Structure 1
Amino acid sequence: MRVVIQRTAHASVTINGHCKAAIGQGMMILVGIEEADGQEDIDWLCKKIVNLRIFDDENGVMNRSILDAGGDILVISQFTLHASTKKGNRPSYIRAAKPEISIPLYERFCQDLSAALGKEIGTGEFGADMKVELLNDGPVTICIDTKNKE
């Protein structure tokens, strides 16, 4: 699994002109799933995300997790995170998992992340044409790939 985490002042996702989810301070997470991903990747990533210290403490130092800060999370599925641009100018998405694999993993990731956070998270809609808006706070942007844990 590959994620891009952005610390937000606020973020939202709109589908067909309707706001599906909106958050205030917290994280907007883009998640891409490949065929080799499984529950072990989900478990490791959920723990890493909720404990990632990217929120400022009282001294302005990034020393607090989202659990400490009491922030919200918005998760958006994004198969393009697994784009290969090695050949030509048209990205290849061959590494991205097919929907029959990625949809259950995406849904499980969202459920487990919500449980790890201790509250409901916002989500987009898998496969939908989404309009995502955010105000990146910092800016702080972190990329994590579960295949590069070591």
Structure 2
Amino acid sequence: MRAIIQRVKEASVTVNGSIVSQIGRGLLVLIGVSAKDEKQDAAYIVRKILNLRLFPNADGSRRWDKSVKDLGFEVLCVSQFTLYTELKGNKLDFHRAMDPEFSQKFYLDVIQQIRENYVSERVKDGIFGAMMDVQLINDGPVTIVLDSCTRGSDQISSGDTKLIHSSERDSKPAQM
């Protein structure tokens, strides 16, 4: 699973000319689901979204001191299967992305996990599979790229499922 996390002053998602979600200060998170993602990939990404210290403290003396959760800011999640694009010459190949038949449920389960681990009303999302206009005002800018496949064993908390090496994973998508 991949997540592009951007610290924002505000962000919104518009579909067919209507705003479907908007937030004030917080994080805009673009989420891509791989064909090989499993529950522990989602748990890692959810934990990082909520706990990364991307904000300064109140007096500004420490730049990377507080998380979105610490400050009660908002989170706007947007599904983006193109995060698993590979280029073949100038042609796009999406075979590494999870099939839409499974990825919508997986993505929605991730959003639900974020809501369950935070304040549900502060977690917004776009419309899965829709063509969306995403507007944001970057704060910084601060942009973090996360990939659950590259996490180290030192980043696993006691509540996580054990890591499964990619060679041990089944080729079909896991269900959450």
Q: Does the TM-score normalized on the shorter chain lie above 0.5?
A: yes
- Residue of structure 2 in register with 1:11 after alignment: 11
Mark the structure with the bigger radius of gyration: 2
The 3-state SS of whatever aligns with 2:86 is: coil
1:137 aligns with 2:139: yes
The 3-state SS of whatever aligns with 1:117 is: coil
Give the alignment's TM-score, normalised by structure 1.
0.96
Report percent identity of matched pairs.
40
Aligned residues: 149
- Residue of structure 2 in register with 1:46 after alignment: 46
1:147 aligns with 2:149: yes
- Residue of structure 2 in register with 1:88 after alignment: 89
Cα deviation, residue 97, structure 1? 0.8
- Residue of structure 1 in register with 2:114 after alignment: 113
CA distance in structure 1 between the partners assigned to 2:131 and 2:45 by the alignment: 25
CA RMSD of aligned residues (A): 1.0
CA distance in structure 2 between the partners assigned to 1:77 and 1:143 by the alignment: 15
- Residue of structure 1 in register with 2:105 after alignment: 104
Residues 32-71 of structure 1 mapped to structure 2, 5 A cutoff:
32-57=32-57, 58=59, 59-71=61-73
Structure with more of its chain in strand, by fraction: 1
Give CA-to-partner distance per residue, 1:99-142, whole Å, 9 cap, x none: 11101100000000111122331111111010000001000000
CA distance in structure 2 between the partners assigned to 1:54 and 1:119 by the alignment: 20
The 3-state SS of whatever aligns with 2:53 is: coil
Unaligned residue ranges in structure 1 (runs of 5+): none
Unaligned residue ranges in structure 2 (runs of 5+): 153-176
The 3-state SS of whatever aligns with 1:134 is: strand
Cα deviation, residue 49, structure 1? 1.4
